[in-house]
Structure 1
């Protein structure tokens, strides 16, 4: 790079064309995601080296009540050269563009992996009553380049968004992923623990059938999803959200979003959604009925998604967020126990970062959002 980078708006078509040149990017950084999050204003932006598009990002703008000022948010993005020696060359023109767009602050989530813990390491940690968090466990892999990015962000005035158990108000820093690159179905299955393998086999023996659904099946998915929300004590999203997600993502790419339905003797027992961008596949939403849980529909549908991701050329099957807690008395511990059964690994990203442009407005907005819960 011999001249300063410039950031300017790009069309969704330009944005999507750039993403197709990359191995992958978060589905939260696709142009279609701006249509899903319709309570925000969205904009695709590009980094240009001369006339060449060398980076891209989806910006979501959240308006301050009664003011023409916005929080600019780039979830799990942007898609730029995070390994660049001079990260400021990329972030400074972004700040200038967003400031000109009336942003009072920027929040982003660098897609940079800091540490990894393999399945065996996690299992040993879960068995150690003296450990409370993954952070206390020596990582199997730690990337010095990620620490360099972290140092560069701090030096440029960015601050990490506080988390509780690895979660913040936005996207989780800790995720669980199943590596697929260079592996066969048999190898992936063999890497799972005995319980997972037994449950997959049991589902097949019980006659559980997993099929792909259509938009018309979203209502059935949502019925089971609401039941799951009541059982697990979380607030469900409305059916309209999933219909909007289906319409936006499948219009962008017919293979972007897939709905899976697991039936047993005609009864829907589990349903999930899978999102794929390039070589990365995400298990995004899941639901199961309380009745017939013993037929193991959830394991059957997970295994089908993994097989399909592998067949589509995905190198990562992402089970999304976990907390970093492994304490025996923490209710979130069960989440990592379930996911570690796949034989995958816990992955810590750098988390989300804030850059105030107008400090007074940024602080006031943070307090306002906190009061809204």
Structure 2
């Protein structure tokens, strides 16, 4: 079995992770850096030579002692990983991640792999699939390998019409990372959350996302006569851009501002060299009551590829404490997120 080693250089990690065929936002070094500011410990492991790693994985761990001087309890989480081309490298990285999570005092290692092949490896290593999830296991991806005319032409007719209608009806979309832009975004986010019943982060968190990703993050605000009607934040990493957060106003719905903001974000993604635009979460097609059904229908207008991930796999590292974790806080949170149809952060 290959021997895994710790990656200490953020630049080295990003160079590897961005170029990997399974590159994704949740394995970006900047995503780990962001989470480190909110109580998570970040570990990055790799296999192969230091100058050219064959595979790697980023793990997030969060633990605490109960009581303060007692044993630790907590979660180690591997989102959309490992990044490995061979089963042998995947096995080595998962085994090393398990040992590192145990060393850090985690009670449970939760993995959400990119591909079914890695799910098979997880099962062979003693992981068990669970119906809980951290990230929604379905998404929709728009391929960007076309010019504006061809890309627009690939959308469903109603979506094309509404994007053009937004422009005719005076909607203007601009990248706006100013204080006023973030104020508008957060006000729209709070209004959307109240309307649809989901939780939001503090305003400072969204600004922290933008600061952490720098030029690879963009905030788009759609306005009519100076009034913000819709906004979204997109982040680019490797070959893909991700529609990470979005919100819209109840006012002036007929001006189709959300359609225009998505179109602007896709055009920006192409200028960043991205080949794909991930719309970040779709409804469960087998559940007619899924609260994301309306958003799902909207996203289908862009005629995306539908992607389904293998699901979520757990490995107890301390059985009693893992049981307490999954039967208590994690299960309650997962149930709440399923009800809201939102990914956990």
- Relative to the length of structure 1, the TM-score reads 0.80
- The answer for the alignment partner of 1:345 in structure 2 is 305
Q: Does 1:281 align with 2:245?
A: no
The one of 205, 211, 226 aligned to 1:247: 211
Q: Does the CA contact (< 8 Å) of 1:61 and 1:70 recur in 2?
A: yes
- The answer for the alignment partner of 1:151 in structure 2 is 120
Closer/same/farther in 2, CA of residues 245 and 327 from structure 1, 3 Å limit: closer
Q: Does the CA contact (< 8 Å) of 2:18 and 2:238 recur in 1?
A: yes
Q: Secondary structure at the match of 1:320?
A: coil
Closer/same/farther in 2, CA of residues 87 and 41 from structure 1, 3 Å limit: closer
Cα distance between partner residues in 2 of 1:156 and 1:24? 21
Closer/same/farther in 2, CA of residues 259 and 86 from structure 1, 3 Å limit: closer
Cα distance between partner residues in 2 of 1:188 and 1:13? 33
Q: Does 1:18 align with 2:30?
A: no
Aligned residues: 326
Q: Secondary structure at the match of 1:74?
A: strand
Map 1:269-308 → 2, pairs under 5 A: 269-308=229-268
Closer/same/farther in 2, CA of residues 355 and 7 from structure 1, 3 Å limit: farther
Give 1:174 deviation, angstroms: 0.7
Q: Deviations along 1:70-123, whole A, 9 cap, x unmatched? A: 321122223233x435642332222223222323221122122xxxxxxxxxxx
Q: Does the CA contact (< 8 Å) of 1:326 and 1:333 recur in 2?
A: no
Q: Secondary structure at the match of 2:277?
A: strand
Q: Deviations along 1:220-274, whole A, 9 cap, x unmatched? A: 2101111111122222221011122122221xxx2x2100011111111111101
Q: Which runs of 5+ in 1 are unaligned?
A: 113-145
Give 1:14 deviation, angstroms: 2.6
Closer/same/farther in 2, CA of residues 177 and 6 from structure 1, 3 Å limit: same
Q: Does the CA contact (< 8 Å) of 2:55 and 2:90 recur in 1?
A: no
Give 1:327 deviation, angstroms: 5.7
Q: Does 1:231 align with 2:195?
A: yes
Q: Secondary structure at the match of 1:321?
A: coil
Root mean square deviation, CA, Å: 2.2
- The answer for the alignment partner of 2:106 in structure 1 is 103
Cα distance between partner residues in 2 of 1:55 and 1:283? 26
- The answer for the alignment partner of 2:272 in structure 1 is 312
Closer/same/farther in 2, CA of residues 342 and 326 from structure 1, 3 Å limit: farther
Q: Deviations along 1:174-216, whole A, 9 cap, x unmatched? A: 11111223x2222221121121111111111112111111142
